[in-house]
Amino acid sequence: MSHEADFFESFRGRLEAIAYRMLGSAGDAEDVVQDTFLRWHAADRELIETPEAWLTKVLTNLCLSQLGSARVRRETYVGQWLPEPVLAGDRMLGPADTAEQRESVSLAMLTLMERLSPNERAVYVLREAFGYPHREIAEILDLTEVNCQQVYRRAKQHLAAGRSRGVVDSGVAEKIVQGFLAATLSGDTEPLVRLLTDDAVSVADGGGRIRARRTPVVGAPDIARYLAHVFRPTDAKRAILGGINPVFHAVVVNGGPALLIQAGERIFGVICLDVGPGGVEAIRLQVNPDKLERFTRQWAAAGPQPPLVATW
């Protein structure tokens, strides 16, 4: 039993990475991986010829069930839904050796994948991010190989608008975030307008737990005014932060630059920037505390980091 548990643990990181891409939620990914372990523990392993394939099939089917119920839940979700951000270095992100693997875990792509059917998403993730051959994917999903190839082509067509930004290192991310933070804290909207593309979009996810704008903000001037209001210090905002002034950190999240907002030991928000050739194209503000739990644990485990700004 110890050997079998050790084998599962050696494969857990890969399962988590598949589940996270499938579900867009690190918390849900942890849950389905644990359910997979329970089924592995209870299975007659003498009947399992290829453990890796068996685990992947069980996990994928659990994810498909989860996606079905998640769609129902999101119909009543308060405000805008965004994927759960994951800090650089977290094994949940999985392999990042190729452009396809890096793109598959970007927040932009995880958001786009919400438009796919569960089967399309499973085929796309297994093929694009993990290189499974269509024959194996077909066996996992109980499809024919030809049908699997057709599903993959449809998924790619649905995601044609997604564009890879690559992965930035911490130094590049810090410079991007420094410029963004300086512009938002300046009190002047013009510097922020210059950083944004004309058709930039800003989306906030409070999940009904934290007050957040429930509709996207579109266009550089409107986003600049919106963010100037968000970052303007007030007594009410300080009260929400527990009377503690926030500190701001530049971090890499899902392969892209992001701004972390922290007060005391609590992370209040992660603002992810999608940067293209013309500037910042999209801003995703994650303030739903349910979606910051794993991020907070990973950030604490990394140890103290020097902030960009320690006063507000």
Residues 52-106: tens digit of each pLDDT: 999 999 999 999 999 988 777 877 889 999 999 999 999 999 998 888 899 999 9
0.85 surpassed by pTM: yes
Query: Which residues are CB-contacts of 162 (< 8 A; sequence separation ≥ 6)?
Result: 103, 108, 109, 112
Q: How far is residue 122 from each of residues 8, 60, 127, 130, measured CA to CA in Å? A: 21, 7, 8, 11
- Average pLDDT of the residues of the chain: 91
Q: What is the pLDDT of residues 205-256, one digit of tens each?
A: 999 998 899 999 999 999 999 999 999 888 888 888 888 888 999 999 999 9
Instruction: Give the neighbor-by-neighbor strand order of the sheet with 196-205.
Output: 217-218, 196-205, 279-286, 266-276, 256-263, 247-253
Predicted confidence at residue 108, as pLDDT, reads 93
Residue 310 pLDDT exceeds 60: no
pLDDT exceeds 90 at position 267? yes
Give residue 161's pLDDT: 66
Q: How many C-beta atoms lie closer than 10 Å to residue 31's C-beta?
A: 15
